[in-house]
Amino acid sequence: MITGAREFRAKLERIAGAMPAAITAEVNRQDALLEAYIKREKLSGQVLNRRTGRLSRSIHSEPARREGSTILGRVGTNLIYAPVHEFGATIRAKRAKYLRFKVGGQWVMKEQVTIPARPYMRPSLAERAPAIREGLQRAIGKVIRES
User: Cβ contacts of residue 1 below 8 Å, gap of 6+?
Assistant: none
pLDDT digits (tens, 9 = 90+) for 71-80: 999 999 999 9
> In the structure, what pLDDT confidence band is assigned to residue 127 with cuts at 50, 70 and 90?
very high
Half-sphere exposure (Cβ direction) of 115: Cα atoms closer than 13 Å: 15
Give the residue among 120, 31, 33 at the shortest CA–CA distance from 82: 120
Q: What are 35-63's pLDDT values in tens digits?
A: 999 999 999 877 777 778 899 999 999 99
**Considering only CA atoms, which of 126, 101, 138 is closest in space to residue 22?**
138
Is 25 in a helix, a strand, or coil?
helix
